[in-house]
């Protein structure tokens, strides 16, 4: 893939239609035809849809790359726990080395190289049972067998994994929205924006640009403090800015949309020099070569999980940025009502 444009995580021709866009457009038509055929085979029953015995909520996106699904899954899991549910989480586990057909249980201290960085982060943030597998239906069955108390499953991604039956589909969007609006490989779209779903979630400014898409829920991301990776010292964003005033600051992100992370830090008064690295890739000391030798470097919680093999002297300079997702007041009651209907106990 070409170099991402301005930390967007996407090549330039996915953001705006350029000459290469039209060179690739015939392949997009082929992609659309194959996707439509696959969906038709599932609808006709020629490909099997597998269901589990608890409601399944798929949180996904219509574009390639991350758009904030993992923080939303964490926030929904914690909210459902507070409401008396017992959620479990399933995921593909992108970037993991153990990519066989068998599913794998994920714990807080699991090796992200074996099960993926995002599943480990979800296990740490939520305390929920987490299972990863290429076959999400198998992962769901294995999680239920190991944790019979689980009464709702949250699928991190999997919107296009039609083999797993689901009760609710939530689509997450970010500031990039649909890019140039074309399907792969000419654009970032995995499916048409007109795809039916139960709800669309994202920033208010983005939701205002979307017609349809089910119920709309506005999400707000806020910085939740900086914690030194070695030692655990914790500072608020204001304290951090004051403590390191006048010093060069670095920020490194190996996430789907690194520019969003850098923009949040700069909006908090932190003039960082941002460096984007590959999503789901293990960090190496070479990734930090663009920073001054002794400057502090801010990283995401997901990247902190991938930093365990870095040299101790480098880890001393790293500060982990907590990102908190504020859910609208009506989201969890709406979700609770939908889940009660899905399990046959509708509420008024």
pLDDT band, very low/low/confident/very high, at 272 (cuts 50, 70, 90): very high
Q: What is the pLDDT of residue 2?
A: 45
What does the mean pLDDT of the chain come to?
92
For residues 220 and 75, the answer to whether their CB atoms sit within 8 Å is: no
Closest CA to 178 of 206, 157, 197, 198: 206
Q: In the numeric block, which tokens belong to residue 118?
A: 């995002």
3 state DSSP class of 288: helix
Residue 98 has pLDDT above 70, yes or no: no
pLDDT band, very low/low/confident/very high, at 217 (cuts 50, 70, 90): very high
Q: Give per-residue pLDDT as tens, 320-346.
A: 999 889 999 999 999 999 999 999 876
Cα R_g (the chain), whole angstroms: 20
Closest CA to 59 of 137, 182, 155: 155
Neighbours of 246 (CB within 10 A): 4
Q: What is the pLDDT of residue 308?
A: 86
Indicate the angle between helix axes 331-342 and 69-82, nearest 10 degrees.
Answer: 70
Residue 279 has pLDDT above 90, yes or no: no
Q: What is the pLDDT of residue 66?
A: 78
- Residues 193-212 have a mean pLDDT of 96
The CATH number assigned to the domain with range 42-219+327-342 reads 3.40.50.300
For residues 199 and 216, the answer to whether their CB atoms sit within 8 Å is: yes
- Residues 50-60 have a mean pLDDT of 96
Q: What is the pLDDT of residue 1?
A: 38
* DSSP code for 11: B
């Amino acid at each position: 893939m070409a170099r991402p444009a301005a930390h967007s995580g996407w090549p330039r021709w996915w953001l705006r239609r350029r000459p290469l866009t039209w060179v690739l457009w015939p392949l997009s038509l082929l992609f659309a035809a194959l996707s439509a055929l696959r969906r038709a085979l599932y609808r006709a029953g020629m490909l099997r849809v597998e269901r589990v015995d608890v409601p399944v909520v798929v949180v996904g996106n219509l574009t390639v790359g991350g758009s904030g699904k993992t923080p939303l899954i964490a926030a929904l899991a914690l909210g459902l726990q507070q409401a008396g549910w017992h959620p479990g989480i399933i995921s593909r586990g992108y970037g993991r080395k153990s990519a066989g057909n068998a599913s794998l249980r994920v714990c807080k201290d699991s090796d992200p190289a074996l099960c993926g960085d995002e599943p480990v982060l979800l296990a740490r943030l939520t305390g929920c049972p987490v299972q990863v597998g290429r076959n999400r239906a198998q992962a769901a069955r294995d999680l239920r067998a190991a944790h019979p108390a689980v009464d709702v499953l949250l699928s991190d991604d999997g919107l296009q994994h039609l083999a797993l039956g689901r009760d609710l589909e939530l689509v997450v969007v970010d500031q990039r929205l649909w890019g140039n609006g074309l399907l792969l490989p000419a654009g970032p779209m995995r499916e048409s924006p007109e795809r039916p779903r139960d709800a669309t979630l994202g920033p208010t400014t983005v939701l205002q640009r979307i017609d349809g898409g089910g119920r709309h829920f506005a999400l707000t991301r806020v910085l939740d403090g900086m914690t030194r990776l070695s030692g655990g010292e914790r500072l608020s964003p204001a304290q951090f800015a004051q403590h390191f005033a006048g010093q060069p600051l670095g920020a490194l992100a190996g996430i789907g949309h690194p520019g969003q992370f850098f923009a949040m830090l700069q909006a908090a008064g932190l003039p960082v020099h941002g460096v984007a690295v590959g999503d789901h890739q293990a960090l190496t000391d070479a990734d930090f070569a663009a920073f001054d030798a002794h400057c502090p470097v801010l990283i995401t919680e997901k990247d902190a999980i991938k930093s365990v093999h870095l040299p101790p002297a480098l880890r001393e300079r790293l500060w982990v940025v907590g990102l908190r997702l504020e859910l609208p007041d009506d989201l969890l009651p709406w979700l609770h009502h939908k889940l009660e209907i899905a399990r046959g106990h509708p509420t008024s």
